[in-house]
Chain A
Amino acid sequence: MSGFSRRRLLGYAGAGVALAGAGATAGVLATKESPEVENVAAAKVPFRGDVQAGIITPAQDHMHFVALDVKTTSRDELIDLLKQWTVAAERMTAGQEAAENGAVGGNAEAPPKDTGEALDLPASALTITIGFGPSLFDDRFGLKDKRPAGLIDLPRFPQDDLDPARSNGDICIQACANDPQVAVHAIRNLVRIGFGRVAVRWSQLGFGRTSSTTRSQATPRNMFGFKDGTRNIKAEDTELLKEHVWVTKEDGPDWLVGGTYLVTRRIRMHIEIWDRTSLSEQEQIIGRTKGEGAPLGQQKEFDEPDLHVRGAGGVPLIGEVSHIRLASPESLNGARILRRGYNFTDGSDGLGHLDAGLFFVAFNRDSRKQYVPMQQALSTKDEMMEYVEHTSSGHFAVPPGVKEGGFWGDTLFR
């Protein structure tokens, strides 16, 4: 199979969908022996499990993220919607339409139940992940007592420039896939199912994953041109995941055990100004070399940063205010997060610049002890703050995985 190019395989899997009408699995699974094929962009990721997919799943190349406000005031209607979403989401992650005979083949006098743009496309490793924002836990649905203590309203960080219209939300849904059309199709159809009960508050497209979440993935680069997330927690680091990502019984509440907290930050980068900055200054701000991605003072990307190496005049090589020093577990009492962000370019800003940056997505076990102190250190001291602006923010409790027969968030509504 070694001569099997990714493009050809995609085509093959795509044909599988058309023929089988149901899923891309057949074509892909048949070739599972080859490691090259195992990573194939078209594969299916199981929807159900102990934890939700889309967190430690190998980061896909594209993302569509949406935050919704719940419009119905009926708890039953909300639960009903979560059940409908679960069915549609499970189908779509299997490479199927949102409903049976959804796009064509239904009643010709009715609008199709599936919007159709993902017909003929393989599952593309689609994962769909749901989270609940602090605002859901008010009087409307009797959830006030269930709000996790860790689901705080994030504090205002110095230099925040948040747009309330694209921050927060009652519910968030993250769709990640190796084909952008598949991710957008998923969000579009879930939003459509929700009309009348939920309304879109804001959404964000991301291209180009900026994190690797498994050891087999190469570290990608962000819009500053630097490798990003070299020291990220990886799917293989089971112990680290337990310590830093998954909510335990002791943490509570019970409904969130096996879940996690999701932080989103839309970070606009002033890339034009960054591009006028000398290479040595860029490397000094990050604390790594641009090419190899080695920590300053070391030689290889995965060499551990040594915060105690000093250069001429006794000046620290990894500067006191460099990004990797401030964000390092060593500087934060061991706090770490699982990052899963994406690059974005949302057109232009009307002043002749690209509106580009990083849609930062991170999962952690307790944002109060992990993300918040990290961001406080960064927004106060990081030299990089001169080149970025946080324009949107979100904090969500991500429930555990859906078991057989269960639905999204069933532990919360029990």
Chain B
Amino acid sequence: MRKAVVILGSLAVLAACSGNTTNTASGAIPVEASDDACKVAKTEASTGTVTFEVANKGTKVTEFYLYAEGDRILGEVENIGPGLSRKLIVEVTEAGKFQTACKPGMKGDGIRGDFTVKGDSKKSTEGDALLAEATKSYQRYVNSQADQLLVKTEEFVNAVKAKKVDDAKALFPVSRIYWERIEPVAESFGDLDPKIDGREDVIAEGMAFTGYHRLEKDLWESGLQADSEKIADQLLVDVKEIVAKAKAVELTPVQLANGAKELLDEVATGKITGEEDRYSHTDLWDFRANVDGSQAAIAALRPVVEQKDKALASTLDVKFKALDEALEKHRKGDGFKLYTELSKDEVKALAEAVDALGEPVSKVAEVVSAK
């Protein structure tokens, strides 16, 4: 979901680059930026794509901005050296009063000018009650899982610290259930994810191998190490931090839908191959949890999907059920069979069920974002 956050932020501008632009280079508005002036050749435009061609005629490196009310940045181009010319393409969806700014020396409020955009405004989706309810409902789910994540991780950490290896082994896949259910949310917090859930092969140079999988290796393979206790303490600290952050995060419906898809991607690349839990082979616990999380996100969006695309809603139901059935065959005791106990055919059947579900789930973002 890290990706989704970035994408939404720039969606408006992205649209400008996707081909259907009406303004060509010739339709661009020339801007002459000098050390003490910011001459914008035209201070009025229509809604849609607005292109500025910024030429730095001054002696200082400069920047050019387009601001909406309250200094909300709509677009900017930085680092324009003296004598250079650069382009800024902005998709302006609302009519209204805007401001342009050149910032010679790349600091301060800059040299401002008024800029007016006229024409039809695109309708905002804010206020769509069903969507608002969807995100609220998923937020409640994230909160409940985050609480459990903290509780179970604490139990796991305590078992490791008490050197109760068998207890710790039993708690390992259980505490991970709550992590895996909300993984895309957790992943959106940069460095915390690799610290908590990094696999040994994924760790970047200069970074220590810590978190769940380091303890997994200790418990199943190398035996508890001198620093296992320290690793366990750190895991709890990191999980506490991520729980607090996860509860505060605000998600859009499209992020929710993409999160549901990403959880299935996680299954397809990590769990179906047995790569995630390579020492304990408890991949099917994580598998189950990813599917749960995906289902929870889709369930939150279901009223919207139901309203906009009834057929997709029922396809999702059918495919989730089929994957459930394929997965539940491998229940054993309180949990699941080990990955190593699955035959090649059984793994393939699971992979196919994940693919079958992944396709319709990938269509949800489009449906919920449709106007």
Decide: A351 near B72, CB < 8 A? Known: A158-B202, A294-B17, A312-B13.
Answer: no
Residues of A within 8 A of B201 (CB): 158-161
Known: A158-B201, A317-B14. A311 touches B268 (CB 8 A): no
Quote the shortest CB–CB distance from A390 to chain B (angstroms): 11
Q: Is the CB of B14 within 8 A of A291?
A: no
Assess whether A158 is in contact with B9, with CB atoms less than 8 Å apart. no
A284 in contact (CB, < 8 A): yes
User: Chain B contacts of A313 at CB under 8 A?
Assistant: 9-10, 72-73
State the Cβ distance, A58 to closest chain B Cβ, in Å.
29
- Residues on B with C-beta less than 8 A from A2 are none
**Beta-carbon contact of A273 and B87 below 8 Å:** no
**How far, in Å, is B212 (CB) from chain A's closest CB?**
18
Q: Is the CB of B355 within 8 A of A272?
A: yes
Chain B residues with CB under 8 Å of A315's CB are 6, 9-10
Q: Which of B188-226 contact A (CB under 8 A)?
A: 201-205
B203 contacts across to A, CB distance below 8 A: 158
Q: Which of B95-103, B289-297, B314-322, B344-352 makes up part of the contact surface?
A: B344-352
Give the distance to chain A from B352, nearest Cβ to Cβ, in Å: 5
**Is A38 interfacial (CB-CB < 8 Å)?**
no
Q: Is the CB of A317 within 8 A of B78?
A: no
Question: Chain A residues with Cβ under 8 A from B7's Cβ?
Answer: 280-281, 284
The smallest C-beta distance from B6 to any residue of chain A, in angstroms, reads 5
State which residues 287-318 of A face B: CB under 8 Å.
289, 291-292, 294, 296-299, 306, 308-317
Given known pairs A158-B201, A159-B202, A297-B89, the reply for A276 and B261 (CB within 8 Å) is: yes
A107 within 8 A of B: no
Min distance, Cβ A324 to any Cβ of chain B, angstroms: 13
Is A278 at the interface (CB under 8 A from chain B)?
yes
Q: Which residues of A contact B77 (CB under 8 A)?
A: 306, 308-310
Is A31 in contact with chain B by the CB < 8 A criterion?
A: no
Partner pick for A278 among B74, B80, B89, B365, CB 8 A cutoff: B365
**CB atoms of A278 and B75 under 8 A apart:** no
Q: Given A296-B17, A352-B355, are A308 and B78 also a contact pair (CB < 8 Å)?
A: yes
Q: Which residues of A contact B76 (CB under 8 A)?
A: 309-310, 314
B316 to chain A, nearest CB (A): 14
Stretch at the interface among B18-26, B131-139, B158-166: B18-26
A159 to B198 Cα, complex, angstroms: 10
**B10: contacting residue among A276, A277, A311, A376, CB under 8 A:** A311
Is the CB–CB distance between B14 and A386 below 8 Å? no
Q: Is A350 among interface residues, defined by CB-CB distance under 8 A?
A: yes
Q: Say whether A383 faces chain B, with CB atoms less than 8 Å apart.
A: yes
| Contact call A289/B17, Cβ cutoff below 8 A | yes
Interface residues of A in 147-203 (CB under 8 A from B): 158-161
User: Smallest Cβ distance from A263 to chain B, in angstroms?
Assistant: 18
Residue B86 interfacial (CB < 8 Å): yes
Q: Mark A222-257, 1 if CB is under 8 A from B, else 0.
A: 000000000000000000000000000000000000
> What range describes how many residues of A lie at the interface?
35 or more
Asked if A353 meets B18 with Cβ closer than 8 Å, knowing A158-B201, A276-B359, A308-B77, the reply is no
A160: chain B residues at CB < 8 Å are 201
Q: Which single member of B72, B75, B351 contacts A352 (CB below 8 Å)?
A: B351
A39 contacts partner chain B, Cβ-Cβ < 8 Å: no
Tell me the minimal C-beta distance from B28 to chain A in angstroms.
10
A319 to B17, CA, bound (A): 14
Any B CB within 8 A of the CB of A270: yes
- Within 8 Å CB of A273, what residues of B? 265, 268-269, 358
Interchain nearest-CB distance for A113 vs B (Å): 43
Asked whether any CB of chain A lies closer than 8 Å to the CB of B310, the reply is no
A272 pairs with B268, CB closer than 8 A: yes
Please, which residue of chain A has its CB at the minimum distance from the CB of B51?
A299
Q: Are B358 and A272 in contact (CB under 8 A)?
A: yes
B86: A residues at CB distance < 8 A = 306, 308-309
Q: In the assembly, what is the distance between CA of A280 and CA of B366, in Å? A: 11
Q: How far is the CB of A282 from chain B (nearest CB, A)?
A: 10
Verify if B122 is at the interface (C-beta below 8 Å from A). no
Chain B 28-61 interface residues, beta-carbon cutoff 8 Å to A: none
Residue-wise, chain A 353-368 has the 8 Å CB interface mask toward B (1 for contact) of 1000000000000000
B148 interface residue per 8 A CB criterion: no
Map CB proximity to A onto B350-371 as digits: 1 under 8 Å, 0 otherwise: 0110010011011001100000
Contact at A386–B352, with CB atoms within 8 Å? Answer: no
- How many angstroms from the CA of A350 to the CA of B2 in the assembled complex? 31
Which residue of the partner chain B has the closest CB to A307? B79
Contacts of B18 in A (CB 8 A): 279, 283, 289, 291
Contact A386 B205 (CB under 8 A): no
User: Given A277, A308, A309, which contacts B362 in the complex, CB threshold below 8 Å?
Assistant: A277
Question: Does A380 touch B at the CB level, under 8 Å?
Answer: yes
Judge if B4 is at the interface, Cβ distance under 8 Å: yes
**Does B90 make an interface contact (CB < 8 A)?**
yes
The answer to whether A311 touches B90 (Cβ under 8 A) is: yes
Q: Does B12 contact A (CB under 8 A)?
A: yes
A218 to B38, CA, bound (A): 40
Tell me if B338 is interfacial: C-beta within 8 Å of chain A.
no
Q: Are B75 and A312 closer than 8 Å at their CB atoms? A: yes
Give the docked Cα–Cα distance between A320 and B6 (Å): 9
Residue of A at shortest CB range from B275? A161
Contact: A353 with B351, CB < 8 Å? Answer: yes
Q: Is the CB of A270 within 8 A of B269?
A: yes
Residues in A lying within 8 Å of B, measured CB to CB = 158-161, 270, 272-273, 276-281, 283-285, 289, 291-292, 294, 296-299, 306, 308-317, 319-320, 350-353, 376, 379-380, 383, 386
- Known contacts A276-B358, A281-B258, A284-B7; 20 additional CB pairs below 8 A are A273-B268, A276-B265, A281-B4, A284-B6, A291-B18, A299-B17, A299-B25, A299-B89, A306-B86, A309-B77, A310-B75, A312-B9, A312-B72, A313-B10, A313-B72, A314-B73, A314-B76, A315-B9, A315-B10, A350-B344
Q: Which 7 A-B pairs have the closest CB atoms?
A: A311-B13, A276-B362, A351-B351, A311-B10, A315-B9, A308-B78, A308-B79
Q: B residues within 8 Å of A by Cβ?
A: 2-4, 6-7, 9-14, 17-19, 21, 24-25, 72-80, 86-90, 201-205, 258, 261, 265, 268-269, 272, 344, 347-348, 351-352, 355, 358-359, 361-362, 365-366
CB-defined A-B contacts under 8 Å, sample of 25 = A158-B203, A270-B269, A272-B355, A276-B362, A280-B14, A281-B258, A284-B6, A284-B14, A297-B87, A299-B89, A308-B86, A309-B75, A310-B75, A310-B76, A310-B78, A311-B14, A311-B75, A312-B12, A314-B73, A317-B10, A351-B351, A351-B352, A352-B352, A379-B204, A380-B204
